[in-house]
Amino acid sequence: MPAKRQLNGIMVGTVTNGLFAHRGADVVLIGTPDGVITQ
């Protein structure tokens, strides 16, 4: 985990998803053949 903590310190505000996220998503966008579903 030390590597993740170090990367998080560098990337805060630059990358806001995946490994570098500080919290979960508020909205999920799902692409479908009929359009986008927002949850």
- Please report the pLDDT score of residue 32 as a whole number: 94
Burial of 7-29, coded b for 16+ CB within 10 Å and e otherwise, reads: eeeeeeeeeeeeeeeeeeeeeee
pLDDT at 6: 66
pLDDT in tens, the chain (39 residues): 577 666 666 655 555 556 666 677 788 889 999 999 999
Q: Provide the pLDDT for residue 2.
A: 72
